Amino acid sequence: MNAFEHHRPASTAQAVAALSAAADGRFLAGGQSLLPAMKFGLAAPSDLIDLGRITELRGIQLEAGVLRIGAMTTHAEVAESAIVQAAIPALARLAAGIGDPGVRHRGTLGGSLGLNDPAACYPAGVLGLGATIRTNQRTIAADDFFVGLYETALEPGELIVAVEFPVPEKAAWMKFKQPASRFSMVGVFVSRRPAGVRVAVTGAASCAFRATALESALTQQWSAQACAAVTIDAATLNTDLHASAAYRAHLVRVLTQRAVASL
Amino acid sequence: MNAPNEVGRFGSGHSVRRIEDPTLVSGTGLYADDAQAEGQLHLVLLRSPYAHARIVSIDTAAAQAMPGVVALYRGADLVAAGVKPLPTVAGFLKPGGGPAVSPPRHALAVDVVRFVGEAVVAILAQTREQAQAARDAVMVDYEDLPTVVDVFDAVAPDAPQVWSDAPGNIAAQALHGKAAEAAAAFAQAAHVVELNLVNQRLSAVPMEPRAALATPDTATGRLTLRLSSQMPSGARNTLCDNVLGIPQDRVRVVVGDVGGGFGMKTGLYPEDAVVAWTALQLQRPVKWVADRSEEFLSTSAGRDVNTTAALALDAQGKILALRVQSLANVGAYATGTGVAIQLLIGPWVGTSIYDIGLIDYRFRAVLTHTAPAGAYRGAGRPEAIYIIERLMDAAARRMGIDGADLRRRNMIRPEQMPYTNPMGQVYDTGHFESITRQAVALADWPGFEARAAQSKAGGRLRGRGIASFLEWTGGNAFEERVTVNITADGLIEIFTATMAMGQGIATTYAQLAVDIFGVPIERVRIIQGDTDRGVGFGSAGSRSLFTAGSAVKDGAQRTVDHAKELAADALEVAPTDLEYTAGRFGVAGTDRGIDLFELASRQPTRRIDVESVTKVLGPTWPNACHICEVEVDPETGEVAIVDYCSVNDVGRAVNPMIVIGQLDGGAVQGIGQALCEQVIYDRSSGQLQTGTLSDYALPRADIIAAFRTTLDQSVPSTNNPLGVKGVGELGTIGATPAVVNAVVDALARAGQGSAAEHLQMPLTPEQVWNGLQGRYPALPRIEIPGA
Amino acid sequence: MTTITFTLNGQGISAEVEPQTLLVDFLRTDRGLTGTHVGCDTSQCGACTVLVNGRSARSCAMLAVQADGTEITTIEGLGTPEAPHPIQQAFMQCHGLQCGFCTPGMVMSTASLLSTCPNPTDEQIVHGLEGNLCRCTGYVNIVESVRVAAAALK
């Protein structure tokens, strides 16, 4: 791993300032993706701005039908939170299924979203619930946040502070694990809210996306059967060592059906 | 003679807690990377990014100038210093008759690199980070050459040639049996089943990566080489005799705790030679630790053989002949082990427990630009048993008869023992039908249909697979030497040259010592891993217990007998007047006597030392029946193992807990092959695609809920005084065909019929889902000219 | 160089480290605590698992500087060969280890699991061990070891 300066700011403002002062700085959240990348030489920042001390980035609150989760909240904290389990149990289950206990004790919501790994679980949850990402500069709707492969709408130096999840009527998460990495080979987050049905898919393409054909079918009729006639276009989906695009397309539909059937 | 207390609780036959455990469970073991030497340099290796390339130039100037860098070496430097290549295949022939061939395997590549990850430059620095940084500054200019990694591509006309002396990339060939007679049997057989089968390339992945620490003694000129190795003596001998050309006594190999071996840590690796040579060259200690990525690139690969096999049966299902034609991908360098495993050792058990008179085996060892193949748990026997057990199920399906029944019709009967199989291997004992009958009962064989109906009601497809089989053990090395030292301070130290790597042999040997000595097991110390104390074949081929264990038993008895002579002298009685009980020699009918350790203290050396050699009569033939039931999710193709039971003829179990641990642990490795593991190289570029744990899928704790594993100890081996049969690999060998046969069965029952036999490992969810849609991989039929 | 101050196996310590030093390397090399093992280079095998404020974490995916102000427990801090912790005793009783290389990580993950879930179901045990690879045992005896440890710790 390359040598770098390590900063431990106590506030968001200090963190942002430290990053802008750095030649080639990165925020360090849980480190569960960044540190392995640095070990492999895939990332070599001049400075790491460690967010671990910033208490205003932590915490879980439910207020007026919106679940607010601080960016530095760990997956374990979300999974074990009585508030989350009561308000959006599917989100707690999603967090409980990320990686393994060691990853969940350190990995964070903000870290996961900022990286936007195409096989990460949280992007499907955030997109599938129509959440809002609050940064130190603005708010970004989930639909605008996930731009492409490892690419988000965040500006350089912009820091996620919290994510606000509107509490849905119903929601479910189904994850099919890639057998080696245990990331989502295909992960589907389904929700039904007054605003409509969302079916968000991760692991299947270069970025999390909404499966609009399935959303339409479920809007017409909220049932697993309604999805049976929907074919997912494999053309934009990934083929890799572990699954073909065709199989992924098939799993998108199956997991969506199972998500709906579970509710 | 023996104290009932100690022997009755800590002797053979008891599931004694392991004496290794307090150290290991508290993290106070000594694995190779845990050892440090004062002033050690750190060595890292620059590895080839190309599968096949000419090394045009190597520029180390920038690297040499970097902080902490002490030296850099390339292959040419070692050659100039007289370092010779590692040994490659011997004792086999090519097609056409000349000796089997391999490119020379230099410790660091010379002129040409032949697989991605082959070591090219050694960089030594004060710290590992400095060596890694310097590695990035080494400039190697390669000329990319045509590459071939797929075995069918390699044997096709106009394939890129791996080695000029291996036309068609065939390094070696072995033909066994009677081709013409077998052809006649096939021609008039009532039933013929033929399958194309893939036994995919695997990586052993012991949890401990390789590491080496070479420490030169400037005063004596000797070198102490610490390795993570199953065969300390073999590594030492190859290093001295073949590679460095120095007397064996100049190198002492020491091995501490080994974090798993599975056959992959047998033999000398190029990296070991580089570490040793650089340490001698620089007269500084040198430490090397492999990254997991390096392990995936450069450890010896397991399996990797493609087969077209056929069974000829008469109308009653009696097998008339077995024909096997295989292309074994031995990698870029054909090693002795890699070739022998596929061309000889596997074939030794090709007919398994079945009374098959006629065989026609045609095996070719093929070179490709991949890492060399070598031993991996089972080493040839899993491949052979996979073939025959897949064929048996296919034949049963063809004939519409029960798979267990077809097997029984062909099993060798106890009265036929000792039985010579068509490869000339002699089985000493075996009650195969009894083992299968017990397993079928344990599995509630008749209850399957009801369970299948239940699974179906739950939306799952149930299938059942059986593997009835035997295996060959011993590594072809049947002699072991032990030294037994009774010390004045109350210890019995026993040295053996076998090597612990998790299989619990220290405890097992200690129990055998307790059987004879009758002392508390705490007084027994099993010492291994030091070529200065003793040499031998090491641990491989499930040999340790029946060879070294027999030697421990014999050595212990000889020690007691010798000590009795010494006691007689000390007490001035005749040896026949003495009785040995629980650590004491007593004069019969009196209170007089002498404690064993007290006797030791009275000797001039304050010890009693006995050296003892035991040779067992031959291999042991452990055998078993493994039965597996799976549920397949028809919508996703996911396979869940819902029941797994086995009956295992292990001869005698010295420590049943340890034996079952070997069987179950081994079975999970076999399940891993069946369901999720595979080494994959990109077909055109030769790049390794499964280079990390993100892509090489190992079983995790959710792979299976429980095993129902039973031991049958009613058929002791007659080839060794313990009656034991080696168990280290048995579980792995049985699990793979049991699981695969179960998934094939599930799909066959779900409407695919015999088409399901086209399923190939690993049975990933997508593979199985494809099968459910009638889509299977198309494999070329292998035709090798017969004898 | 950064100064870090934290509790290591119950003892307050202070050390100077380079920011890029991984916690696992600090433990193994600077402190000589070689019970925490390195089994991979992608932070996936779990052999390096330690406790950070009582929760399992991979010490290879943590910088030593991130340990500042925390309580770190390694396998050496759990028990000794002479005085093993009940979890270690359970592993010995149930033949939950063979080569021992994954074992410290397994034991620490077990400690973490049982601290938050003292009565785990089999499913919870398997879920709790999902981050720890073992190549020798086939896991079944490890799961049994955790069951026995849970009962012993009640």
Q: Which residues of B touch A247 (CB under 8 A)?
A: 765-766, 769-770
- Which amino acid, B487? T
Neighbours of B533 (CB within 10 A): 15
pLDDT of the residue at B3? 52
Report the chain A residue with the minimal C-alpha distance to residue C51: A102
> What does residue B287 show for φ and ψ, rounded to 5 degrees?
-115, 135
Query: Residue C36, by phi and psi: left (phi above 0), alpha (psi -120 to 50) or beta?
Result: beta
Q: Please compute, for residue B342, the number of CA atoms within 13 A of its CA located in the half-sphere on the CB side.
A: 33
Question: Could you tell me which of B673, B645, B666, B637 has the C-alpha nearest to residue B776?
Answer: B637
What is the 3 state secondary structure string of B760-775? Answer: CCCCCHHHHHHHHCCC
Distance CA B172, CA B154 (A): 14
Question: Could you tell me which of B244, B231, B230 has the C-alpha nearest to residue B275?
Answer: B244
Touching subunits of A (3+ CB pairs, under 8 Å) are B, C
Query: pLDDT by residue (tens digit) across B629-638?
Result: 999 999 999 9
> Burial of C83 by CB count in 10 Å (0-12 exposed, 13-18 middle, 19+ buried)?
exposed
Considering only the beta carbons, identify the residue of A50, A52, A102 that sits closest to C49.
A102
Q: What percentage of chain C's residues is helix, strand, coil (to nearest 5)?
A: 40, 20, 45
Write out the H or E segment, with its range, that includes residue B397.
Answer: helix B381-399
- CB of C30 less than 8 A from some CB of B: no
Considering only the beta carbons, identify the residue of B26, B262, B702 that sits closest to C80.
B26
**Residues near B171 by beta carbon (within 8 Å), at least 6 away in sequence:** B89, B94, B100, B101, B102, B163, B330, B334, B339, B365, B366, B367
In the structure, what pLDDT confidence band is assigned to residue B1 with cuts at 50, 70 and 90? very low
Q: Which residues of B touch C134 (CB under 8 A)?
A: 207, 701
User: Is the pLDDT confidence value at B523 over 60?
Assistant: yes
Q: Report CA dihedral (B633, B636, B638, B640) to the nearest 10 degrees.
A: -20
User: Is the pLDDT confidence value at B782 over 70?
Assistant: yes
**In this structure, are strands B112-113 and A209-210 parallel, antiparallel, or unpaired?**
unpaired
Q: Would you list the DSSP string of chain A?
A: ----EEE--SSHHHHHHHHHHSSSEEEESS-TTHHHHHHTTS---SEEEE-TT-GGG--EEEETTEEEEETT-BHHHHHH-HHHHHH-HHHHHHHHTSS-HHHHTT-BHHHHHHHT-TT-SHHHHHHHTT-EEEESS-EEEHHHHEEETTEESPPTT--EEEEEEEPPSEEEEEEEE-TTT-SEEEEEEEEEETTEEEEEEESSSSS-EE-HHHHHHHHH--SHHHHHT----GGGS---SS--HHHHHHHHHHHHHHHHHT-
Which parts of chain A sit beneath pLDDT 70?
none
Cα–Cα distance list, B591 to A242, B132, B560, B585 (Å): 75, 70, 20, 10
User: Is the pLDDT confidence value at B2 over 60?
Assistant: no
Distance CA B734, CA B712 (A): 16
The three-state secondary structure class of B618 is coil
- CB of C132 less than 8 A from some CB of B: yes
Query: pLDDT by residue (tens digit) across B724-748?
Result: 999 999 999 999 999 999 999 999 9
Query: pLDDT by residue (tens digit) across B528-550?
Result: 999 999 999 999 999 999 999 99
CB of B332 within 8 A of CB of B162? yes
Q: Which residues of A touch B (CB under 8 A)?
A: 1, 176, 179-182, 241-244, 247, 250-251, 254
Share of chain B above pLDDT 90, in %: 98
- Torsion sign over Cα A72, A75, A77, A83: positive
Largest CA distance in chain B: 87
Distance from CA of B633 to the nearest CA of A (A): 11
Q: Point out which residues pair with A70 in neighbouring strands.
A: A162
pLDDT of the residue at B442? 98
Q: Which residues of C touch A50 (CB under 8 A)?
A: 65-66
Distance CA B776, CA B273 (A): 45
Distance CA B77, CA B59 (A): 13
pLDDT of the residue at B227? 98
Query: pLDDT by residue (tens digit) across C80-109?
Result: 999 999 999 999 999 999 999 999 999 999
Distance CA A260, CA B751 (A): 29
The three-state secondary structure class of B173 is strand
> What does residue B89 show for φ and ψ, rounded to 5 degrees?
-60, 140
CB contact under 8 Å between C56 and A105, yes or no, is yes
Neighbours of A169 (CB within 10 A): 11
> What does residue B567 show for φ and ψ, rounded to 5 degrees?
-65, -40
The domains found in chain C, sorted by start residue, are 2-77 (3.10.20.30), 86-152 (1.10.150.120)
Mean pLDDT of B241-253: 98
pLDDT of the residue at B786? 85
Tracing tokens 């708010």 back to the chain, one arrives at A139
Share of chain B above pLDDT 70, in %: 99
User: Is the pLDDT confidence value at B352 over 90?
Assistant: yes
CB contact under 8 Å between A241 and B690, yes or no, is yes
> Burial of B382 by CB count in 10 Å (0-12 exposed, 13-18 middle, 19+ buried)?
buried
Query: DSSP class of residue B520?
Result: -
Interface test with C, best of B207, B230, B377, B503 (most C CBs within 10 A): B207
Q: Which residues of B touch C140 (CB under 8 A)?
A: 664, 704-707
Distance CA C117, CA C114 (A): 5
CB contact under 8 Å between C99 and B18, yes or no, is no
> Burial of B526 by CB count in 10 Å (0-12 exposed, 13-18 middle, 19+ buried)?
buried
Structure tokens at C91: 């592993």
Q: At what angle do helices B550-571 and B505-517 cross, to 10 degrees?
A: 30
B418 preceded by cis ω (within 30°)? yes
CB of B213 within 8 A of CB of B17? no
CB of C11 within 8 A of CB of C33? no
CB contact under 8 Å between B694 and A251, yes or no, is no
Q: Report CA dihedral (A35, A39, A44, A45) to the nearest 10 degrees.
A: 30
Query: pLDDT by residue (tens digit) across B251-293?
Result: 999 999 999 999 999 999 999 999 999 999 999 999 999 999 9
The three-state secondary structure class of B69 is strand
ipTM exceeding the 0.95 mark: yes
User: Is the pLDDT confidence value at B250 over 70?
Assistant: yes
CB of C90 within 8 A of CB of C96? yes
Mean pLDDT of B443-456: 98
Which parts of chain C sit beneath pLDDT 50?
none
Distance CA B94, CA A18 (A): 68
Q: Which residues of C touch A41 (CB under 8 A)?
A: none
CB of C95 within 8 A of CB of C141? yes
Write out the H or E segment, with its range, that includes residue B737.
Answer: helix B730-747
Mean pLDDT of B589-607: 96
**Residues near B598 by beta carbon (within 8 Å), at least 6 away in sequence:** none
Question: Could you tell me which of B504, B364, B776 has the C-alpha nearest to residue C99?
Answer: B504
- CB of A42 less than 8 A from some CB of C: no
Query: DSSP class of residue C22?
Result: B
Query: pLDDT by residue (tens digit) across B56-96?
Result: 999 999 999 999 999 999 999 999 999 999 999 999 999 98
